[in-house]
Amino acid sequence: MTQSFPTPAAHARDLLDTLGVPARPADAGQAVRSPIDGSILTHVAFDDAREIEAKVAAARRAFDAWRVVPAPRRGELVRLFGEELRAAKADLAALVTLEAGKIASEAAGEVQEMIDICDFAVGLSRQLHGLTIASERPGHAMRETWHPLGPVAVISAFNFPVAVWAWNACLALVCGDPVIWKPSEKTPLTALATHAILQRALARFGDAPEGLASVVQGGRDAGERLARDPRIPLVSATGSTRMGKALAPVVAERFGRSILELGGNNAMIVTPSADLSLALRAIVFSAAGTAGQRCTSLRRLIVHESLVDKVSDAVDTAFQRLPVGDPREGKTLLGPLIDRAAYEAFVAAMDAVRTEGGTVSGGERLLADQWPEAFYVRPALARLPAPAPCMQRETFAPLLHVVPYAEFDEAVAIQNDVPQGLSSCVMTNDVREAEAFLSAAGSDCGIANVNIGPSGAEIGGAFGGEKETGGGRESGSDSWKQYMRRQTATVNYSGALPLAQGVRFDL
Ligand code: UN1
């Protein structure tokens, strides 16, 4: 039985009220649509140049005050934010479902990812450690100190509309940096809701400077404006490789720093010793979960030739049985694509497979009678006899390419032979294969896994990838260092002035 739900617009209005987002005019500005049925949720006004300027100027002023607040005290703000997020988790997740189309469990997981990074950042606020370094000169001490950097612009994508901002914002805030957020124009409401939740934490915190965190609504122009602004020393951007290629030179031209998290074209190698039932579950979640719209989604399956038919048939059967539909329904595992353009890219990618000698099963559009403006699809399996040019591209949809391999080295070479380098994995019970995959001559990706799929990383590790993925690292490990500036200090506590490298300059 299909459950009945309030219309997405009515539900979004309720959620925005509950989450404390100030009322906005419903019929002005940019239309925000729900991918669930293609209906308009509301309208959001884009910021004009003057409004953006005011937010950047306020962030710059906030920096002067925030950078001298002790880091553990800055951590207290993030701790309060984590508390507010816990209280708002169900409502924010429901809004993620309405705006991005994620199934309930994945939407809740996304908010959990925000809470996790809050906890990480709170601990970090007491661990922004530098080094002490042995000086070669007598009576001298050397040390390295990490200082706040300045306002950070975060440009985020529709597919993780809130978690990726949180990875950046929580670190930036404990590091002493104000945050200016330009969310995807497809998901402005979850950004407003998150901002309202942060406002509650700020109110409880008490004395944070005005302008410490702001949201800039806009499209490409707004992103470019932030990228150009010399008052913003760091721009952290998630999105397509095309977007990154346009943005990076603009930031570099003014010697700004960027963290880029761009396209992935992630692979799994399935070896003869693999646990196939484990592999099958990992494949289906990582290829079809989030409707294939994660940057970590599985797009290429490289299977030993002895198993390729068996594994492909099993994946095909699982794809056929996956419950596709309204992401608000408890049983649904595959929600909609974000919009028509995403569907058209999916169709074009399947056409390319056929043109290049492959066959495609699945890939049909579903529920079009009920919702002509929403784009639900059956995941598609593309079988190819050998790697083909169509496998070089990232298509943000549930399309999985399969190719056979004969020797393990060949499988690793196929895995690495794409322009992107985000995530990768091998399914094997052979320790030599596992270690070779993780070695210097193995996977060339930022993320390399054994016996799990390529998606669904935890926040504790550094997240990001090589080559066209952009080289950035976000969230855990020592990613925080990018949000600070390193200062090397040498103090002479002797009465003499010996020079380094034995240089003599006697007056
Ligand atoms: C993204 O798709 O931009 O590893 C981020 C994952 C998630 C984050 C994905 N934790 O799949």
Instruction: Say how far apart CA 306 and CA 434 lie, in whole Å.
Output: 19
Over the stretch 143-185, which tens digit does the pLDDT of each residue have?
A: 999 999 999 999 999 999 999 999 999 999 999 999 999 999 9
Question: What pLDDT score was predicted for residue 8?
Answer: 97
Q: How far is the CA of 296 from the centre of ligand 1 (A)?
A: 6
Query: The CATH number of 8-262+470-487 is which of 3.40.630.30, 3.40.50.2300, 3.40.605.10, 2.170.190.11?
Result: 3.40.605.10
289 and 333 Cβ atoms separated by less than 8 Å: yes
Instruction: Identify the sign of the CA torsion 417, 159, 481, 439.
Output: negative
Ligand 1 probe mutation, 102, 113, 164, 294, most atoms within 8 A of CB: 294
Over the stretch 388-410, which tens digit does the pLDDT of each residue have?
A: 999 999 999 999 999 999 999 99
Reduced to 3 states (helix: H, G, I; strand: E, B; else coil), residue 460 is coil
Is a pLDDT exceeding 60 seen at residue 295?
A: yes
Q: First-to-last CA distance in the chain?
A: 93
pLDDT, average across residues 319-328: 98
210 is catalytic: no
Query: If phi over 0 gives left and psi between -120 and 50 gives alpha, with beta otherwise, what is residue 474?
Result: beta
Q: What percent of the chain has pLDDT over 70?
A: 99
Q: How far is the CA of 210 from the centre of ligand 1 (A)?
A: 31
Q: How far is the CA of 44 from the centre of ligand 1 (A)?
A: 26
Ligand 1 atom 7, closest CA: 456
Nearest Cα to Cα of residue 451 among 301, 274, 287: 274
Instruction: Provide the ipTM.
Output: 0.98
Any residues with CB less than 8 A from the CB of 358 and at least 6 apart, and which? Answer: 382, 383, 384, 385, 388, 390, 401
Question: What pLDDT score was predicted for residue 489?
Answer: 98
Ligand 1 probe mutation, 296, 298, 394, most atoms within 8 A of CB: 296
Q: How far is the CA of 473 from the centre of ligand 1 (A)?
A: 12
Question: What pLDDT score was predicted for residue 24?
Answer: 66
Question: What pLDDT score was predicted for residue 266?
Answer: 98
Is a pLDDT exceeding 90 seen at residue 50?
A: yes
Band the pLDDT of 28: cuts 50, 70, 90. confident
Query: What average pLDDT is seen over the chain?
Result: 97
Quote the Cα angle for 492-495-499, to 5°: 55
40 and 212 Cβ atoms separated by less than 8 Å: no
Residues of the chain with CATH 3.40.605.10: 8-262+470-487
Is a pLDDT exceeding 70 seen at residue 336?
A: yes
Instruction: Say how far apart CA 220 and CA 132 lie, in whole Å.
Output: 44
Nearest Cα to Cα of residue 485 among 134, 261, 132, 150: 150
| Residue with the two structure tokens 């079988």 | 383
Over the stretch 215-267, which tens digit does the pLDDT of each residue have?
A: 999 999 999 999 999 999 999 999 999 999 999 999 999 999 999 999 999 99
Q: Give the nearest ligand 1 atom to 455 CA.
A: 11
Residues of the chain with CATH 3.40.309.10: 266-450
CB count in 10 Å sphere of residue 26: 12
Catalytic residue among 76, 99, 110, 261: 261
Ligand 1 probe mutation, 160, 423, 475, most atoms within 8 A of CB: 160
The type of residue at 383 is R
Question: What pLDDT score was predicted for residue 26?
Answer: 65
More confident position, 111 or 23: 111
Whether 159 lines ligand 1, by a CB cut-off of 6 Å, is yes
Fold of domain 266-450:
Aldehyde Dehydrogenase; Chain A, domain 2 (3.40.309)
Q: Give the nearest ligand 1 atom to 459 CA.
A: 10
120 and 346 Cβ atoms separated by less than 8 Å: no
Over the stretch 438-496, which tens digit does the pLDDT of each residue have?
A: 999 999 999 999 999 999 999 999 999 999 999 999 999 999 999 999 999 999 999 99
Whether 117 lines ligand 1, by a CB cut-off of 6 Å, is no
Band the pLDDT of 2: cuts 50, 70, 90. low
Whether 437 lines ligand 1, by a CB cut-off of 6 Å, is no
pTM above 0.90, yes or no: yes
Whether 165 lines ligand 1, by a CB cut-off of 6 Å, is no
Q: How far is the CA of 370 from the centre of ligand 1 (A)?
A: 31
Whether 150 lines ligand 1, by a CB cut-off of 6 Å, is no
Query: If phi over 0 gives left and psi between -120 and 50 gives alpha, with beta otherwise, what is residue 451?
Result: left
The type of residue at 362 is G
Whether 166 lines ligand 1, by a CB cut-off of 6 Å, is no
Band the pLDDT of 29: cuts 50, 70, 90. confident
Instruction: Say how far apart CA 390 and CA 355 lie, in whole Å.
Output: 9
Instruction: Say how far apart CA 498 and CA 506 lie, in whole Å.
Output: 10
Band the pLDDT of 4: cuts 50, 70, 90. confident
Q: How far is the CA of 363 from the centre of ligand 1 (A)?
A: 23
Question: What pLDDT score was predicted for residue 201?
Answer: 98
Q: Give the nearest ligand 1 atom to 294 CA.
A: 2
Whether 456 lines ligand 1, by a CB cut-off of 6 Å, is yes
Whether 190 lines ligand 1, by a CB cut-off of 6 Å, is no
pLDDT, average across residues 67-80: 98
Q: How far is the CA of 116 from the centre of ligand 1 (A)?
A: 14
Question: What pLDDT score was predicted for residue 3?
Answer: 72
Q: How far is the CA of 108 from the centre of ligand 1 (A)?
A: 14
Ligand 1 probe mutation, 114, 184, 295, 447, most atoms within 8 A of CB: 295
Instruction: Say how far apart CA 109 and CA 86 lie, in whole Å.
Output: 12
